[in-house]
Structure 1
Amino acid sequence: MDWDNLRYFLEVARCQRISLAAQRLGVQHSTVARRIQALEQELGLRLFHKSTVSGYSLTSDGLNLQQRLEPVENRLLAARDALAGKARPLSGTLRLGCTEAFGSYVLTPLLSQFQACYPDLTLELLPVPRPISLSRRDADLAIALERPQRGPYWCTRLADYNLRLYAHADYLSAHPPIEQIQDLSQHRFIAYVDDLLFSDSLRYLEEIVRSAPVRFRSTSVIAQYQATLQAQGLAVLPCFLAQTDPRLRCVLPEQIELRRRFWMFCHEEQRHNPSLTRLWHYLKHAVQERQALLDGA
């Protein structure tokens, strides 16, 4: 396959606009459209849903292609940096904003490994239960549950992850058995504060059991995790947070599984920052290597 066609495809997949992709690539709008059409004809696949309102959104085949291409792109960019002599020691400060549990339990170990390779680089991690605003310069790099819908951002899908229903072993032994979803109506739950949710993707219980009796609420998933450890009730938790804790039991694992996605993005002007691009490609590779943890395997 023609790598230029693939490169143009990746740019359109990230910004969802032909005109913006052309601007970033430094070519004409018609050139990008022609490249995308050529790639779709070569593969015999439809890669984008095209809309005058929402722009170019990936089809399932397009998403599959993006997931396969990005590791190749990462290796090419790393090779380019090394050959161009850019693999010099990095310095300065980078601030990374992300969701609370992912930042604390997945990213922190990864960032420690990254910093061991670049000891002159200072990293600031903001794992917070709220959205990070790059327009207000809250951070240089953000990882969020939702892709930014507008703005001059460089964006990529970082990883998908699973959530399941968990309870402490002591809670399960003291309450009626749970053999099917209907049995959940006899139990109490731990959840987010509804009117303070920063993303609709956090409305987990609505997908499992309606009118669930919630006895403890918190804006913090780590607080929910701690409440679950105190045997206060059932909670939907990320597998990367709960699956490795032997005190917790997964409830109805064959029937209840939710899947969500992390997006990573930065401001367009930061795209050529050597420190940020090095961290960007490192995280893409390192998080992909930990997909089993995110899946709760």
Structure 2
Amino acid sequence: MQKNITSLNALNWDDLKFFLEVARTRKASNAAKRLGVDYTTVSRRISSLETALGTLLFEKSRTNGFVLTAEGQRLLSYAETIESTLHMACEQVSGSGVALSGHIRMGCTEGFGSFFITPQLSHFVDAYPAISVDILPLPHFISLSKREADIVIALERPEHGPYVCCKLTDYTLRLYATQDYLDSHGPIRQPSDLNSHPFVSYVDDLAFSSELLYLANLLPGASANLRSTSVIAQYVAALQGRSLAILPCFLAAQDPRMIAVLPEEVEITRQFWMYCREDLRKLKRITLLWDYIREVTEMNHAFLMGEPAPLRFRQPLAAER
């Protein structure tokens, strides 16, 4: 019993912050960058925590970095609970001005993040200047468990985990080409005509979601002579007038250079899901951004479904300025 009391008294609670960052990034150098300190400080704080607890929390590997031991895994869940509780406590005892401040990271698919979410967030941070937002429009899975993001917008609903999740919206994709392409290639009057036309599409085995593999499912006879993991790269390639591309309407329909081909016959509907960790969902700044994204998405339903509608922005209330 005396040993436990001594260990607790020797524990520096601030060391848990360093532990969490190393556990999430698996590299002391990356943790140091996120915390704004040097590598030696991170290493020293981790050693201090291990000494205070009397156990090894990480095994160090040249290839895998800092790997949590079984004891480290057990501590991680407790440390995250402490972190969330501290966030909630600060909001409860602080004024509303403090509660509506801080930093949020939002992960999102590349096209939606770049062409819809980022423009909307530029208006959000203008209305709430005390809140800073990182948008991560990356074409790969973003881990909430490693706190790579606080909120994620994805093509698929998470199968399990301590998450709050909602369907954000449906959206439409259609087949697009430039006028130059249509003028210089054979006529396209029906879907069977597409078998002789070149496409730009995803790299099948590198697609981060099966929801992206619509070309093979919709047009089995079509061939892609140029492929990319980036929907923006596909969009730019189609603009060169040498291939067709299936693109989200929120990306291509607002560009007058892009023309929808067989819009009635070639149309795909997909969904976006928004989710975050249960413990973070209660934070006021997370709730504010969550509700804001849902509102502006609903406001732009027609735009996202490929109907002739402009991109709309929510007008902030005077009290938000």
How far apart are residue 89 of structure 1 and its match?
6.2
How far apart are residue 285 of structure 1 and its match?
0.7
Q: What residue number does 2:42 align with?
A: none
Residue by residue over 1:30-63, the C-alpha shift from the partner in whole angstroms, topping out at 9 and shown as x without a partner, is: xxxxxxxxxxxxxxxxxxxxxxxxxxxxxxxxxx
* In the alignment, structure 1 residue 138 sits paired with structure 2 residue 161: no
Specify which of 284, 295, 298 is matched with residue 288 of structure 1.
298
Q: Report the Cα distance in structure 1 between the residues aligned to 2:183 and 2:214, rounded to whole angstroms.
A: 24
- If you compute each CA radius of gyration, which structure gives the higher value, 1 or 2? 2
Q: Report the Cα distance in structure 1 between the residues aligned to 2:131 and 2:228, rounded to whole angstroms.
A: 35
CA separation of 1:295 and 1:87: change in aligned 2, threshold 3 A: farther
Are the aligned partners of 1:89 and 1:118 in contact in 2 as well (CA < 8 Å)?
no
Instruction: Write the letter of the residue equivalent to 1:106.
Output: F
* In the alignment, structure 1 residue 107 sits paired with structure 2 residue 117: yes
Give the 3-state SS of the residue equivalent to 1:184 in structure 2: helix
Q: Percent identity?
A: 52
CA separation of 1:158 and 1:87: change in aligned 2, threshold 3 A: farther
How far apart are residue 88 of structure 1 and its match?
6.5
5+ long unaligned stretches in structure 1: 1-84
Residue-pair matches, total: 214
Are the aligned partners of 2:99 and 2:285 in contact in 1 as well (CA < 8 Å)?
no
* In the alignment, structure 1 residue 150 sits paired with structure 2 residue 160: yes
Q: What residue number does 2:241 align with?
A: 231
Specify which of 242, 250, 256 is matched with residue 240 of structure 1.
250
Give the 3-state SS of the residue equivalent to 1:254 in structure 2: coil
How far apart are residue 87 of structure 1 and its match?
7.2
Residue by residue over 1:41-95, the C-alpha shift from the partner in whole angstroms, topping out at 9 and shown as x without a partner, is: xxxxxxxxxxxxxxxxxxxxxxxxxxxxxxxxxxxxxxxxxxxx85766211100
Instruction: Write the letter of the residue equivalent to 2:164.
Output: W
Give the 3-state SS of the residue equivalent to 1:179 in structure 2: coil
Structure 1 runs (4+) deviating above 4 angstroms are 85-89
Q: What residue number does 2:179 align with?
A: 169
Instruction: Write the letter of the residue equivalent to 1:182.
Output: S
* In the alignment, structure 1 residue 251 sits paired with structure 2 residue 261: yes
How far apart are residue 254 of structure 1 and its match?
1.0
Root-mean-square deviation (Å): 1.5
Are the aligned partners of 2:196 and 2:222 in contact in 1 as well (CA < 8 Å)?
no
How far apart are residue 211 of structure 1 and its match?
3.4
How far apart are residue 208 of structure 1 and its match?
2.2
Instruction: Write the letter of the residue equivalent to 2:214.
Output: Y
* In the alignment, structure 1 residue 122 sits paired with structure 2 residue 148: no
Deviates most, 178-187 or 109-118: 109-118
Q: TM-score, normalised by structure 2?
A: 0.65
* In the alignment, structure 1 residue 272 sits paired with structure 2 residue 282: yes
Q: Report the Cα distance in structure 2 between the residues aligned to 1:124 and 1:98, rounded to whole angstroms.
A: 11
5+ long unaligned stretches in structure 2: 1-94, 308-321
Give the 3-state SS of the residue equivalent to 1:253 in structure 2: coil
Matches within 5 A, 1:1-297: 86=96, 90-297=100-307
Instruction: Write the letter of the residue equivalent to 1:142.
Output: V
Residue by residue over 1:106-132, the C-alpha shift from the partner in whole angstroms, topping out at 9 and shown as x without a partner, is: 011111111111101111000011111
Q: TM-score, normalised by structure 1?
A: 0.70
Are the aligned partners of 1:89 and 1:120 in contact in 2 as well (CA < 8 Å)?
no
Q: Report the Cα distance in structure 1 between the residues aligned to 2:246 and 2:163, rounded to whole angstroms.
A: 31
Give the 3-state SS of the residue equivalent to 1:154 in structure 2: strand
Give the 3-state SS of the residue equivalent to 2:135 in structure 1: strand
Q: What residue number does 2:55 align with?
A: none
